[in-house]
Amino acid sequence: MSVATTLGFGDTLRAEVNAGTEMAAGGGRFTMTCDDAGVPLDDANLVLKAARAFARATGWPSAESGVNFFLEKRVPMGAGLGGGSSDAVAALRALNALSGVRLGAEELVQIAAGLGSDCALFFHDGPVVMRGRGERIEALPAGASARLRGRQVLVFKPAFGIATPWAYAQMAKAAPGSYLPEKEAEARLAAWVGEEGATAEALLFNNMEAPAFAKFMALPALLEQLKNEFGLAPRMSGSGSACFAFLPENAKVTAITAAVKEAWGDTSFVVETRIA
């Protein structure tokens, strides 16, 4: 079980119909360009996987046309921020609009669930609870959601990423006490939701930190520094390697950013944003 939310920054995906494009297997030919040379443009790309899944489900586009995708990449890869999954959902939404809304919301979610466990999240705006593999989504109650919506957040990532399959495999081997069982996680969430005025920081916990921190010592070292020097409560995002911290309205963002860059180098990624 996870509490997750969308942020006010992300990738930008454009989709344009290209009449006269040759037919490809699965219905319609899809092409893609990206301003980040590190993004794969082959069958490994979730945007193209989503497009082909949409074509199989709808038969659109026809043999006489195709769709060109243009991706402006802002969410770093290997970050645990769901960048690829959000792009896949954006592709499904774009194709549905271009095709004349051939699929309903439930059908789109079903296709998305077959692409990635966290894809369903990106059909929702604002804080939600994810259960199962991530395909079961429930909005937080309004009062609890209000504690998160609009909060200022700093997201930061070192130059290296963490492979999600490795992270999940290692989580099962984590030391006793580092893993929060499902019943305890549900009880903790229920208590937080029911406690009027509980801070967002009081909810934070990440089972995946233990294995990541054991291998990548730069992560816990910086998080502890930010806690001691700036009074923050930083955490790793998902399977990492990106981390985040809620910021007070008077936060010394420039100084915090400088501390991140000094610890992780100038190639580290830092962005200030807000929860949707």
79: domain CATH number? 3.30.230.10
State pTM to two decimals. 0.89
On whether both 160 and 243 belong to a single domain, the answer is: yes
How many C-beta atoms surround the C-beta of residue 42 within 10 A? 7
Residue 59 domain flag: yes
Could you tell me whether strands 235-236 and 136-139 are parallel, antiparallel, or unpaired per DSSP bridges?
unpaired
The domain boundary, picked from 77, 93, 123, lies at 123
On whether both 73 and 8 belong to a single domain, the answer is: yes
181: domain CATH number? 3.30.70.890
Residue 45 domain flag: yes
SS3 212: helix
The domain boundary, picked from 90, 123, 156, lies at 123
26, pLDDT greater than 60: no
* Site of tokens 């008077």: 250
226, pLDDT greater than 70: yes
Taking Cα atoms as reference points, which of 203, 134, 209, 215 lies closest to residue 179? 209
Residue 22's alpha-carbon distances to 26, 50, 64, 65, 69, in angstroms, are: 12, 19, 7, 7, 16
- Confidence band for 20, pLDDT divided at 50, 70 and 90: low
- Confidence band for 28, pLDDT divided at 50, 70 and 90: low
Instruction: Give tens-digit pLDDT for 149-178.
Output: 999 999 999 999 998 888 888 877 765 556
Domain count, the chain: 2
Can you give the length of the chain in residues?
Answer: 276
Taking Cα atoms as reference points, which of 53, 29, 174 lies closest to residue 107? 53
Please, what sign has the CA dihedral across residues 30, 36, 37, 38?
negative
On whether both 93 and 159 belong to a single domain, the answer is: no
25, pLDDT greater than 60: no
Instruction: Give tens-digit pLDDT for 177-203.
Output: 566 788 999 999 999 999 988 999 999
Instruction: Give tens-digit pLDDT for 108-165.
Output: 999 999 998 889 889 988 899 999 888 889 999 999 999 999 999 999 999 999 988 8
CB of 115 within 8 A of CB of 49? yes
Range of the domain at 102: 2-123
CB of 243 within 8 A of CB of 256? no
On whether both 166 and 82 belong to a single domain, the answer is: no
Radius of gyration of the chain (CA): 20
Residue 131 domain flag: no
DSSP string, 50-110: HHHHHHHHH--S-TTEEEEEEEE--SPTTSSS-HHHHHHHHHHHHHHHHTTS-S-HHHHHH
Q: In the prediction, which pLDDT does 177 show? A: 59
On whether both 98 and 13 belong to a single domain, the answer is: yes
